Structure 1
Amino acid sequence: MAFKSREDYRKGKELEEARKPGIVPSEVDEDGNEINPHIPQYMSNAPWYLKANKPSLKHQKKWRSDPPYCGISVWYDRGAETYQADRYRKGACENCGAITHDAQSCMERTRLKGARWTNLFIVPDEKIECSQMDYVSKRDRWNGCDLEAHACQVIQKHDALEEARRRYKNSQRLKKLEKKSSLLVPDGISDEEDGDDASMKVDERKQMYFARGGSTGTVRNLRIREDTAKYLLNLDLNSAHYDPKTRSMREDPLPDSDPHEKFYQGDNQHRTSGLAMEFKHLNIHAYKANEKGQDMHLQAAPSQAELSYKSYKISKEDFMSTVKDTIMQKYGNAAAEAELPKELLLGQSERQVEYDRAGRIVKGERASLRIALPRSKYEENVTINNHTSVWGSWWKDHAWGYKCCEQTIRNSYCTGAAGIMALTQLKIS
């Protein structure tokens, strides 16, 4: 808006107030229509980019309804041609000869010698239109759709499928009725075969997608409809989580129940059963082989990876059998012997040995030898230097010693009670 002085602004306000009660006639726009003075200024004033000289409501209406603007029903002609030249024109495409584009944006096949040099096979000029669409037509996904092509490709095909399905059902119903009538009349006329069923069915290639599950051709987690759904097995909020989008429940909803009595243990059970473990081992083998320098990739060459894994398993089994045979040849095979002692077969014998608390043999075959069972690899109950107790039997002030004389020197000579008294008097003094 143009700059106004204080006096002009005051006069404009007075004129606006006079127009509201009807004292002054209403303002007229460019087309001669009166403008309601009660309309707010932000609605009556046009945006700056329209460059309007006077207030109007034209910008509030559908001002793009007339040509050259178009709506949803108007679209450019697809592949329309205009003028067909008989020789090359200056400024036209050097490849095809059309003047509506240059050689860089030409969509024709690149010729060995273009139309500029041969003057042959000049392509007609394209029809170029300027389609200025409004807000709705820009965002309409079906704008420019060819209804005739859609009717031929989609609607007629579905109608043919429905008609073939209806005729096939009628023929099956007639066959059932004829079979029932033939059972009632034993010597009646045999059933006449209907016409060729193949003529009533649609081509299998056109009907393939009807056998698929869903629009993408996959159905996840199919179950028998008589079985209980996953989310109804355990209604506790703290039980296994159920994802309704993927219809998956990874954990076991009833972990404490008997596994032999339940038919569903969670989706994670499939990861450790069937061919899942075999695929996991195959993936690990390919990864380790790639780390060791072999050119192997499970996704890039799956057949090569599988053949390599099979040969690896065969060679591993051969190696393990060779190792087993070598060990048996060196140490023998006790299971292959013809006769074994009765004691080894039954796992028991008549020998009886009795020990005391110290581990010494009291009664048995070796009772006369009195050989105690060793409890450690070190010598036990062995005293030195007149000590009556072993080293480490006494502890005081973070030091080990002998309990008999309370000395903390390892190689000291035991003095008995006299040494303890001497140490006590020394501390007192």
Structure 2
Amino acid sequence: MATASVAFKSREDHRKQIELEEARKAGLAPAEVDEDGKEINPHIPQYMSSAPWYLNAEKPSLKHQRKWKSDPNYTKSWYDRGAKVFQAEKYRKGACHNCGAMTHAAKSCVERPRKVGAKWTNIHIAPDEKIETIELDYDGKRDRWNGYDPSSYTHVVERYEARDAARRKHVKEQQLKKLEEKNGNQNAEDGVNDVDNDEDDLRVDEAKVDESKQMDFAKVEKRVRTTGGGSTGTVRNLRIREDTAKYLLNLDVNSAHYDPKTRSMREDPLPDADPNEKFYEGDNQYRNSGQALEFKHLNIHAWEAFEKGQDIHMQAAPSQAELLYKNHKVIKDKLKTRTKDTIMEKYGNAASEEEIPRELLLGQSERQVEYDRAGRIIKGQETVLPRSKYEEDVLINNHTTVWGSWWKDHQWGYKCCKQMIRNSYCTGAAGIKAAEAATDLMKANIDRKEATKEAPAPVEEKQLATWGTEVPEDLILDEKLLAEALRKEDERKREVKDERKRKYNVSWNDEVTAEDMEAYRMKKVHHDDPMKDFLH
């Protein structure tokens, strides 16, 4: 472990060293001691406990891990609380106006404000406090326990010891009370024997307790009281090693799923086995039993109360939520009891009342009742229809039937006039005929529109003969218009030749007449025509 020797070791010596380290970790061997006589924790890793080679450490030690740059002037002393330096007899100039001490000003005085300060009364002068200036390092300023008095923890230990003593006393009284009750139910001789046996059971036998504790361990060895002495055995809350593991109860792959990470098996691994012979029925059996079910109801109550606007949260304030749930249950039980008492007072309790006399049950009456062959009542016991709380058979606005006597197209109306408006005036048969005529007229209009669906009128397109048209055979041209078209064509060609002199705003007409087309053909030059030079 902490040895600094790097000398060669044989295989046997190395094995013995490893065994010694394991024994020290388990607490079976005393811990290693450094050169100052202090024990070295065997659980410290070797790379931390071994000193570097350049330190030339001959004995095991942890000095190389300690702080070697330390301030010799640094002290861990703390403020001397309540210490006084000097007690003056009269007021001094520059002292506190309230108490008369020289170590603080009047605004920093922590004594009770006097009606007349010591400056004016010159009596009851407070002593001067001891002013200390303690310089702390980085860790000292952030030490939570700096200035703590360890002797004050004795009061905490005494309080816990008193609590444990009171608990043991209470348990002893409860056991003695049970023994007395048991003695009162039996005769004297049996009672004496039982008391002796119970007293023997109540005696705490240390040897027996140790043996019972050792039953759950496969191997318990005597530990050495030393630094890092290891545990005292197996953890008690684990299962006994002789019991079969729950994931081995049923080896079928389709059986209950076992989660190795959480060591949980929700379902029952042996659902077909006898419940009296099973000691494990899955983890879900604990979810619906004991306080788990009560905790579930508590969560549901907290959710419902929060939804209704009450400031309650199960995780933020569990004690408050539990107290509100208890109060809710008490109030709910009171309401149930009050409701039950009210019903009992109003209707009585047939279970607790006396039985009706037999003479009244089998009594005779003068009422005549007739039955058919099937046993149904024909006459003598007519069923009385319950009367509605609403008005019935009330006729308004000259109607002969009530509202709701007519139904058509998911609407209610009056049957007398077939109107669907509640406050309408009755028009009788004439109104029915008028409504039917209006309906027939509307249907006729719809049919006429569907029958005479006219196609949209074709839009007359303006034929623009910009690119030319076919010349009909019976075309008759106007000589004046043709001459005018020829003149315009000559002007157009002259404008094309001299585009620079063309004005910006040009009047343009894209409607081409037959004369314009004829003038264009006459003036057009056909480059492939061999007689083109003789045309003009």
Query: Under TM normalisation by the shorter chain, which class is it?
Result: 0.3 to 0.5
- Structure showing greater relative contact order (alpha-carbon pairs closer than 8 Å, 6 or more residues apart): 2
